[in-house]
């Protein structure tokens, strides 16, 4: 059996419950893919975007809903070795990628402030623009279950707001475009297990900032939150699942205050307290 077929088979056989079922569950529950969609599957070269690409391929092969896929790789300034690794994995896994170049790493690195934040914002814009150029109406990103709950805790502890990633959202800068997250219910540990089972090596963050600043990586807020979650799991293994469910089960009657996402106006429960 060809190598890529073994990899595909592992997704729907050995990892059916942990990866495939959760991938399909998110697609169905959040209505991520609709008839006539043309989706740009955005591949960074890491394990998350690669497993997403294979799941999207598999779904496209068997789905009764007609949709199209483009597998999009943006090179923001990778060194030669990292770019070759992405191309090698794409060929190995039978993913027909389209690669385009940008200079995002250099711009983010030299701009000052937080290069990771600027890099993420710029990457998103470039991907939207290229996807629209290819006739796509959606881009798919590889954010997973752990990204969602980490973002929730990051915003609560550092930004003083209850906010997390949504399974899909409309672009505010690119009319008619949407972003979807098909791995929303897939846990990172299962993606790591899948990569290990298939003996696959994927790209880590390869920007200049990470390469030259191990101290900043060690002190990153997201890494801190990851450690916090692992510590909580020692006494409450169900904590991550409970955090995930809590976002789907908000008791509005007990919310003290909220902010209108469109106008930015703030509201208090006291506005309706006397009426109640």
Rounded-to-integer distance, Cα 77 and Cα 123, Å: 11
Q: How far is CA 134 from the centre of its chain?
A: 21
**Model confidence over 37-51: pLDDT tens digits?**
999 999 999 999 999
β-pairing verdict for 178-180 and 168-170: antiparallel
Cross-strand partners of 168: 180
Structure confidence by residue, pLDDT tens digits, 215-247: 354 448 888 999 999 999 999 999 999 999 999
Q: Which of 6, 87, 26, 51 is nearest to 193 (CA)?
A: 51
Domains defined along the chain, listed by start: 3-271 (3.40.50.620)
The confidence score (pLDDT) of residue 101 equals: 85
pTM for this predicted structure: 0.91
pLDDT beyond 70 at 185? yes
pLDDT, residue 253, reads: 87
* Residues shown for the chain: 276
């Amino acid at each position: 059996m060809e190598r890529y077929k073994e990899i595909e088979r592992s997704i729907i056989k050995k990892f059916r419950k942990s990866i495939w079922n959760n991938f399909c569950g998110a697609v169905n529950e959040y209505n991520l893919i609709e008839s006539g969609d043309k989706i740009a599957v955005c591949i960074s070269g890491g394990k998350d975007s690669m497993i997403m690409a294979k799941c999207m391929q598999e779904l496209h092969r068997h789905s009764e809903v007609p949709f199209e896929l483009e597998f999009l790789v943006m090179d923001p300034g990778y060194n030669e070795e990292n770019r070759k690794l992405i191309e090698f994995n794409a060929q190995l896994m039978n993913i027909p990628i389209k690669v385009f170049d940008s200079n995002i790493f250099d711009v983010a690195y030299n701009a000052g402030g937080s290069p990771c934040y600027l890099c993420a914002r710029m990457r998103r814009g470039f991907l939207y623009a290229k996807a629209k150029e290819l006739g796509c109406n959606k881009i798919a990103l590889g954010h997973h279950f752990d990204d969602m709950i980490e973002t929730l805790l990051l915003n609560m502890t550092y930004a003083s707001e209850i906010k997390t990633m949504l399974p899909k959202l409309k672009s505010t800068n690119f009319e008619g475009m949407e972003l979807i997250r098909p791995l929303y219910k897939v846990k990172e540990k299962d993606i790591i297990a899948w990569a290990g089972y298939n003996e696959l090596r994927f790209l880590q963050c390869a920007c200049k900032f990470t390469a030259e600043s191990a101290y900043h990586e060690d002190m990153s807020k997201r890494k801190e939150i990851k450690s916090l979650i692992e510590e909580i799991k020692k006494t409450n293994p169900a904590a991550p699942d409970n955090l995930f469910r809590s976002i789907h089960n908000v008791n509005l009657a007990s919310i003290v205050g909220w902010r209108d996402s469109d106008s930015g106006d703030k509201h208090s429960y006291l506005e309706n307290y006397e009426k109640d």
